[in-house]
């Protein structure tokens, strides 16, 4: 199954609480931090909430 690498590129300061919660749930705690996930609908839905704060890259596993 394909994987995606998610990197936080903008600060969560000034964002709505739901957006900050989504970043926390993705395991992103600050700018430059990244995490790798399986490419699933649940993760894509979370990323749809914060597209302006993260960068998404496809990774071959």
* CATH (domain of 50): 3.30.1390.20
* Residue 7 φ then ψ, to 5°: -125, 130
Predicted local distance difference test score (pLDDT) of residue 44 = 97
Q: For residues 18 and 2, give the distance between their C-alpha atoms in angstroms, rounded to a whole number.
A: 27
In terms of residue numbers, what domain contains 22? 3-59
Cα torsion angle, 46, 25, 19, 53, sign: negative
Q: How many domains does the chain have?
A: 1
Which pLDDT tens digits describe the chain residue by residue (61 residues)? 899 999 999 999 999 999 999 999 999 999 999 999 999 999 999 999 999 999 999 998 6
Pairing of strands 54-59, 34-38: unpaired
């Amino acid at each position: 199954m394909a994987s995606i690498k998610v990197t936080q590129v903008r600060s969560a300061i000034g964002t709505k609480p739901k957006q900050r919660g989504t970043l926390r749930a993705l395991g992103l705690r600050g700018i430059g931090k990244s995490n790798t996930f399986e490419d699933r609908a649940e993760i894509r839905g979370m990323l749809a909430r914060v597209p302006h704060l993260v960068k998404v890259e496809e990774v071959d596993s």
